[in-house]
Amino acid sequence: MAVIEVKNLTKTFKTHRKEPGLLGSIKGLFWREAFYNEAVKAVSFSLEEGELVGFLGPNGAGKTTLLKMLSGILTPTFGEVRVLGFIPGERDRAYQRQFAIVMGQKNQLWWDLPPAESFALNRDIYGVDPKTFQSALDEMVSLLDLKDLLNVPVRQLSLGQRMKCELVAALLHQPKVLFLDEPTIGLDVISQEKIRGFIQEYNRLKRTTVLLTSHYMKDVEQLCRRVLVINHGRIVYDGSLEDLSHRYIDHKVIKIRFASPQAAAVLSGMEGVVELDAHHAVLKVKKKEVAQTTHRLLGRLPIEDLSVEEVEVDEVIRRIFEEQPSKEGG
């Protein structure tokens, strides 16, 4: 049975346009032009137990709205959601004890108190018995290397340390399903790495089903075998990252460093050259022509170094987003 089941899920926000200035405000009291914004449009997908799936999409694509509907913070306008058999919008206590959501920009830790206090509060809010609590805490503290920080007020922690503690606070009741909304936002590279490693390890150890959103490709590349690409409220791709590049990209990139500057002249004007100067060149070549082209280049030019690379996933994603222009317009 699928842990998360989403069918035809749609969320429409009703908003009002306000004319600028004081007069506009007064006018707005009596008459406002309503307009509707479909943040999520007829989205369907399902997740099996233990999957770690990434949501990819630009700002405003509907990722957060989806996560909020899965956690019962927002009610769907249309369609069906079931998580662990529950309808999230009913906010059943039994459901709440089995999932957690971490929003990178909405903290739940008490600012002026050490994280240990927030942890104790969550322990009792979720009714976790002290023994289970202690062993869960010890495990995560050692995984995340937090031992010395438990008794330091949150306000004195760095952003990365705080994020780690947010994760611990959310996982103390050992949820079966975890939603992560931008868990690495604003963090330095090392902290991102740590958090990623932790999520991966935790998912492997506990078989927790994880759905995470991020704009950092790295997060998704390292963590998720399966991605859902969402753009303008629609899922435009559901599958593995490798297939994504197979499907959308038909070329590879050849990078060359010349042994002598004369080589550059030969390449100028040649088809597929994207970058060229006296010392190096970058070529885009159709996949099936890679072997032939490489052979030819090596045979004809004084080349010091040559490498063949896949197109970066970032670019693949950018392609997809550019391919799907908004048809609704505002």
Q: Which residues bind other proteins (CB under 8 A)?
A: 13-14, 65, 68, 71-75, 89, 91, 93, 96-97, 99-101, 103, 106-108, 110, 112-113, 117-118, 120-127, 153
Min. distance of Cβ 125 from other proteins in angstroms?
Answer: 5
Measured between alpha carbons, how far is 67 from 40 in angstroms, rounded to an integer? 11
Q: Which is nearer to other proteins, 95 or 237 (CB)?
A: 95
Closest contact distance (angstroms) between CB of 6 and other proteins is 17
Minimal distance, residue 171 CB to other proteins, in Å = 13
- Three-state DSSP state, 139: helix
CB-wise, 121 or 282, nearer to other proteins?
121
Tell me the backbone φ, ψ of residue 48, rounded to 5 degrees. -90, 165
Helix pair 313-323, 241-248: axis angle to 10 deg: 60
Q: Are 184 and 142 in contact (CB under 8 A)?
A: no
Q: How far, in Å, CA of 315 to CA of 326, rounded?
A: 19
- Measured CA to CA in angstroms, residue 230 lies from 41, 114, 156, 320, 324 at distances of 10, 38, 37, 10, 10
> From the CB of 117, what's the least distance to other proteins, in Å?
5
In the complex with other proteins, the residue whose CB is nearer, 69 or 253, is: 69
Read off the tokens for 126: 């979720």
**Residue number with CB closer to other proteins (5 or 117):** 117
Min separation Cβ 159 and other proteins, Å: 17
Residue 219 DSSP code: H
Within 8 A by CB and 6+ apart from 222, the residues are: 196, 200
Closer residue to other proteins, CB minimum distance, 153 or 197? 153
Closest Cα partner for 173 from 130, 226, 217, 231?
130
Report the 10 Å Cβ neighbour count for 128.
Answer: 19
Question: What's the Cα-to-Cα distance from 120 to each of 98, 114, 257, 299, 306, rounded to whole Å?
Answer: 18, 11, 58, 69, 57
Q: Which is nearer to other proteins, 16 or 296 (CB)?
A: 16
Shortest CB 29 distance to other proteins, Å: 12
Q: Which two tokens stand for residue 15?
A: 């908003």
Least Å distance, CB 323 to other proteins, is: 28
> Would you say 64 or 294 has its CB closer to other proteins?
64
